[in-house]
Structure 1
Amino acid sequence: MKSAILSTLLSVLTAFVVAQPDPINTNTIVVRDPAIWYNAALEKYFVFSTDNNIGFSLLQHLSGSALPDCSIIDLPGNCDLWAPDVNFIDGLYTMYYAVSTIGSQNSAIGVATSPSMEPGTWTDLGEVISSVTGDVYNAIDPNIIDDTVGLQLSFGSYWDGMFQVGLWPGVNDLASALPGTHLAGYSGRPAEGGFVYKPASQPYYYFFFSDGVTPIAGQASLPPAGTEYKVLVGRGADGQGPFYGELGNDITLDLTPPTGTLVLGSHDFVFAPGGQSIFADPVSGRDVIVYHYVNLNDDNSPVGPSFLGINYLDFSSGWPVVVD
């Protein structure tokens, strides 16, 4: 009976994923872990991403690096920065980023600020938090939310999950003890890239995260179907959690099937979408999800680069749904 129920559930999930719309943008920008923000004075969208010392583009062409001289954080990986998160705080564009190497827990999250996001304008303020081998968390994949109680920094991955600490009075001032509040995941779960978002249309806060294995360009093969990256979500009454999936389970719990509600999975030519961030677009007035994915139609086999994906989100049901 249990196997029949799981089979039915998988069929329903597969049907849902197949019905999802393709990215609304053309797949010409190579990125990982994209973050997007709009500069109203310049009337430009800036997209920041992993590698190239936080490379960024204007949706049409590559423009350069936010931190071309590397991070001032003295750790391996400080010239190969990861997973930017961008916001507008106290009159400055503010970007959090991660310094680490693959598989290492010797990591740090730094922050830089800019008046415009343009090349040459970023000031690196250095480390906000860090981790070492043996900690219950890994200081990677930052996300900032300016909540009613002040700035909250979410972070973490495979180790014991994703956590959140307060920052005040400044954008790099740790105000609560590490590791902070446990938001999602658990030891050994391949879940990372947490992102807290509150749409204007809903009373809820939503915690998006990437679950599964992410393909890396140049690998010998793609992850087995079903184990690859996908975007899941939980929701809660405030930005500090707890967050629950649609079945009512706290997303910190180790359950079968894994906790969290599916938002975006592999479909059509889109494989392993993840590394997501969410953005309230002031131009369209809509909620937008940006992410990276492997294009199965790409000729760079067996595993090619990851491309930028952009879609709108509809929260009218109380849960985020990817729409055209």
Structure 2
Amino acid sequence: MKFTLIGTLFSILAAGVFATPNPISGSDTIVVRDPSIWYNSASKKYFVFATGGKIGIWTSTALTGPWTNVGTVLSSCSTVNNPGNCELWAPDVNFIDGLYTLYYAASSLGSQDSAIGVATSPSMEPGSWTDLGEVISSQSGDVFNAIDPNIILDPVGLQLSFGSFWNGIFQVGLWPGVNNQASATPGTHLAGNSGRPSEGGFVYKPQSQNFYYLFFSDGITPLAGSSRPPAGQEYKVLVGRGAAGQGPFFDQNGNDLTLALSPPTGTLVLGSHDNVYAPGGQSIFADPVSRRDVMVYHYVKLSDPVGGPSYLGINYLDFSSGWPVVVA
């Protein structure tokens, strides 16, 4: 009996230690998809950008909120010549050459007639953004889809990652400016293949590591009128790592993320747990306030009906093991 009690106690403690933390408080009423986050040290505000319309903007003085919807990035439709230029997707924000720089996608559901554009701002505030227009595009029959942009400045220069389904996630260089394509599409193949539901690639190098990490979303987000997929096939955040920002990227099993394997490649960072269902659409940044690595994402509440709204999730990441772990 004594050993049984000790074993039970150890199991409870272990479950508590290794349980995935829920999103930090303050954001579970903010409805977003594909959020991206940055901090303005001058105004001392966090900015979250999200899919929809002309790219919605939420601000807060703390990661724990309260978050306020303050407007949109663009006041009118994008100058990108694409049918989706008034309903923009998947923003990605960074600070490049003294300006806040936001990439976005213009497309429609299931279409390859897509384009990625870019806008710049001195402050990230509504009304301050200048639309620079198209950077790259795709059309039906290409091996890639020009959506879900992500920018990283590495020792080689500016690298733009993109892609969803089709043959996966790719990357091209930009030079001399943030809207100048320097290498031909599709570019370097980073992850995914053969229609695998992988998208939202995000390359990130934490200050504590020599590795670059490719985060990506994989799986299915059930839409209204559908049913949830078998457990494990829903949206989730996976990762691989590599020695350079252009890859190749490998999971913890040593598999290149571009390989078609079963089970699929990629190491799990964040999956469904508790009332958090189908998390994904992630972005990561180094928070200068907490001095921690922060991941934002969207998720559906399991308690909501299938196809319900998706909410803003925020968590800290720990890279001390060499792999990103969601921590409190």
Describe the SS at the equivalent of 1:58: strand
**In structure 2, C-alpha distance between the alignment counterparts of 1:105 and 1:17, rounded to whole Å:** 44
Query: Do the aligned partners of 1:18 and 1:267 also contact (CA within 8 Å) in 2?
Result: no
Kindly report the root-mean-square deviation, in angstroms, between the aligned alpha carbons of the 2 structures: 1.4
Residue number in structure 2 paired with 1:99: 106
Q: Give the CA deviation at 1:74.
A: 1.7
Query: Do the aligned partners of 1:18 and 1:268 also contact (CA within 8 Å) in 2?
Result: no
Taking a change above 3 Å as real, the CA distance of residues 77 and 305 of structure 1, as seen in their structure-2 partners, is same
TM-score, scaled to structure 1: 0.92
Residue number in structure 2 paired with 1:267: 273
Residue 311 in structure 1 maps to residue 315 in structure 2: yes
Residue number in structure 2 paired with 1:162: 169
**In structure 1, C-alpha distance between the alignment counterparts of 2:260 and 2:163, rounded to whole Å:** 17
Given candidates 194, 199, 221, the residue that maps to 2:201 is 194
Question: Where do 5+ consecutive residues of structure 1 fail to align?
Answer: 1-14
Taking a change above 3 Å as real, the CA distance of residues 54 and 307 of structure 1, as seen in their structure-2 partners, is same
Residue number in structure 1 paired with 2:33: 32
Q: Give the CA deviation at 1:77.
A: 1.2
Q: Deviations over 1:48-97 (max 9, x none)?
A: 00002110101411111111201111211111100000000000000000
Moved more, 55-64 or 306-315: 55-64
Residue number in structure 1 paired with 2:122: 115
Paired residues, what number? 307
Identity of aligned residues (%): 74
Q: Give the CA deviation at 1:185.
A: 0.3
TM-score, scaled to structure 2: 0.91
Residue identity matched to 1:41: A
Residue number in structure 1 paired with 2:58: 57
Q: Give the CA deviation at 1:220.
A: 3.7
Query: Do the aligned partners of 2:99 and 2:122 also contact (CA within 8 Å) in 1?
Result: yes
Given candidates 271, 278, 283, the residue that maps to 2:284 is 278
**In structure 1, C-alpha distance between the alignment counterparts of 2:234 and 2:113, rounded to whole Å:** 25
Q: Give the CA deviation at 1:145.
A: 0.1
**In structure 2, C-alpha distance between the alignment counterparts of 1:93 and 1:321, rounded to whole Å:** 28
**In structure 2, C-alpha distance between the alignment counterparts of 1:183 and 1:163, rounded to whole Å:** 5
Which one has the largest radius of gyration? 2
Q: Give the CA deviation at 1:117.
A: 0.4
Question: Where do 5+ consecutive residues of structure 2 fail to align?
Answer: 1-14, 61-66
Residue number in structure 2 paired with 1:235: 241
Q: Give the CA deviation at 1:143.
A: 0.1
Residue number in structure 1 paired with 2:10: none
Describe the SS at the equivalent of 1:157: coil
Query: Do the aligned partners of 2:222 and 2:306 also contact (CA within 8 Å) in 1?
Result: no
